[in-house]
A and B are shown apart, each in its own frame.
Chain A
Amino acid sequence: MSTLGVAFHEGAVVAKRNLRMILRVPELLVNAAVAPIMMTLLFGFVIGGAIELDGVSYREFLMDGIFVQAVLFSAVNTGTVIASDITTGIVDRLRSMPISRSAVLMGRTSSDVVNNLVVVVVTAVLGLVIGWRVRTSFLDALLGFVVLLVFAYALSWLMAVVGLAMRVPEVVSSTGFTIAIPLGFLSNAYVPIDTMPGVLQAVAAWNPISAVVQALRDLFGNMPANAVRPDAWPMQHPVAASLLWIVVLLAVFIPLATRQYWKAVSR
């Protein structure tokens, strides 16, 4: 077997263990799914009434933001679980075995794709109930969900780095949310960017979250094609920008996490 094949096989074995864990300890997944439900209800029914949009219902506009916020919160779980995994003896055993350096992280981030899938499905069902619809073709919708899940995968690696840097699950969780909440709100997820003050508009337009949210709005048809959008390149080409952000996140955080994993566990 090639080196890559070996790493893939070992990652798959670890992922299988993690998936078993979802069934054994479903609380983790339930918690991850509760966050988007709560945000949807709070913004859709409490805050949303005060927000007026031209030509589109706020709840429909909101759901695309919730999708991205949901996977962002779910990624924090990745970091927390990695932090608690590395404090158990099992990681010592795995590291003393002849297995590839990235097997544990590969396994974790790939099994979290399943977590994210569940979270996205729950969010989509809730969206359908409150009036969100896919108004484009099946292929566009499919592309939208693929972009969302691949972006979620990249976020898992980012939060893995946080988990490995902080090492204490409680600290990882609070740090993770300290990153995730402003990142989510400083974007077009909840309100249109043009309602923000000038400096924040620039930040929000270049925030990777905004690119993905905008890509979803375009691919699901949740925003009129003629609606005004910021001139920033990522907002004009959100799908390309999303893919680019995904590549950048993966290229930065996979090597960083792998290096940190070895540093963290060899202390």
Chain B
Amino acid sequence: MTDAIVAEGLGKRFDEVTALDGLDMVVPEGTITGLLGPNGAGKSTTVRLLTTLMTPDSGRAEVAGLDVVTRAAEVRRVISLSGQHTAVDGNLTGFENLEMLGELLHLGRRRARTRADELLARFDLVEVAGRRVKDYSGGTRRRLDLAASLIRTPAVLFLDEPTTGLDTRSRMGLWDTITELVAGGTTLLLTTQYLEEADRLADQVVVVDGGRVVARGTPHELKREVAGERLEITVAPGADAAAARAALAGVGTGAVVVDDLGRHFSVPVDDGVDALLAGAHALRAAGVPVVDAAVRTPTLDDVFLALTDKDQEYSG
């Protein structure tokens, strides 16, 4: 498998602000990578550099094997961008927007119109096709924006915060659309500040903060790596807390935490399912009745807060 995006030591400054401070990233072909980070982390700058809208001050990047600075014109032939600000024209209708972009891509008038109709149908926009875009709802406008980035099938698609500002229903609708989209094999780089979005869509998550990559991996790996899984046990009232603690200490990889009532136990573990079975077995052997047992995998929220909050000491 080749890499669709390779970035090495990308740096970019705006006056006194360092937007990117040596960002490295690899996106394998045909995968979805989520670029996750708080506001001002450098997500959009990364996208703008990779889509040739800006040039880096230092470092280099390739998209589809083409250098984004020296072969920018060729890069533009193989990418599509759906930016943070909806890039459709409010005073044109949905159809006119797509037709215009098709003509700009030299499809020819007839082909541009057919393509516009195809995309309107595919993105469920037929009903609003003749209406001016400024009268669209936020979710509808984003769907049109996404349609606009697919007039040609790009090798690499960039979506910069595609669901920011949308309500939950529209966001979930857009997620479905994006999922279908990449089923076709398009490589997708998606920036988002929503952890749930990265969790839902991305094969690989790259967490950026302060212009640098602070973590990367599958959503699952990140959760484990940063916060780790914990075995959470609740015992029956009146059970022997000391026996329970001793039993659980044997299956955990760290200190057992007990609540004030002596009924709830929490211990870090390596392999959640094995630990759950072993813990249940050990408790039964010690004669401690268990009322609830679960492996808690941290959410990406835990990961995110741990990685991006500089004031917080985190041991995981």
B104 surroundings in chain A (CB, below 8 A): 10, 13-14, 94, 97, 99, 103
Stretch from A17-25, A111-119, A246-254 contacting the other chain: A17-25
Number of interface residues of A (CB under 8 A): 27
A88 surroundings in chain B (CB, below 8 A): 85, 87
Stretch from B26-34, B71-79, B169-177, B220-228 contacting the other chain: B71-79
CA distance A20 to B92 in the complex (A): 8
A residues within 8 Å of B by Cβ? 1, 6, 9-10, 13-14, 16-17, 20-21, 24-25, 88-90, 92-99, 103, 265-267
Stretch from B50-58, B285-293, B302-310 contacting the other chain: B50-58
In the bound complex, do residue B53 and residue A17 qualify as a contact, i.e. CB atoms below 8 Å apart?
no
Number of interface residues of B (CB under 8 A): 34
A–B complex contacts, Cβ < 8 Å, 17 sampled: A1-B106, A13-B100, A13-B104, A14-B104, A17-B96, A20-B96, A89-B87, A89-B88, A90-B87, A92-B48, A92-B81, A93-B82, A96-B81, A97-B76, A98-B73, A266-B53, A267-B14
Contact of A89 among B86, B91, B96 (CB under 8 A): B86
Contact of A24 among B53, B81, B91, B101 (CB under 8 A): B91
In the bound complex, do residue A89 and residue B100 qualify as a contact, i.e. CB atoms below 8 Å apart?
no
Which of A6, A98, A99, A103 has the most chain B CB atoms closer than 10 A to its own CB? Answer: A98
In the bound complex, do residue A95 and residue B84 qualify as a contact, i.e. CB atoms below 8 Å apart?
no
CA distance A99 to B151 in the complex (A): 14
In the bound complex, do residue A13 and residue B87 qualify as a contact, i.e. CB atoms below 8 Å apart?
no
Q: Interface of chain A, helix or strand or loop or mixed?
A: helix
A10 surroundings in chain B (CB, below 8 A): 104
Using known A-B contacts A13-B103, A13-B104, A24-B132, determine if residue A96 contacts B88 with beta carbons closer than 8 Å.
no
The yes or no answer to B83 lying at the interface (CB within 8 A) is yes
Using known A-B contacts A9-B106, A99-B104, A103-B104, determine if residue A93 contacts B55 with beta carbons closer than 8 Å.
no
CA distance A267 to B19 in the complex (A): 12
CA distance A62 to B204 in the complex (A): 70
Which of A21, A88, A92, A93 has the most chain B CB atoms closer than 10 A to its own CB? Answer: A93
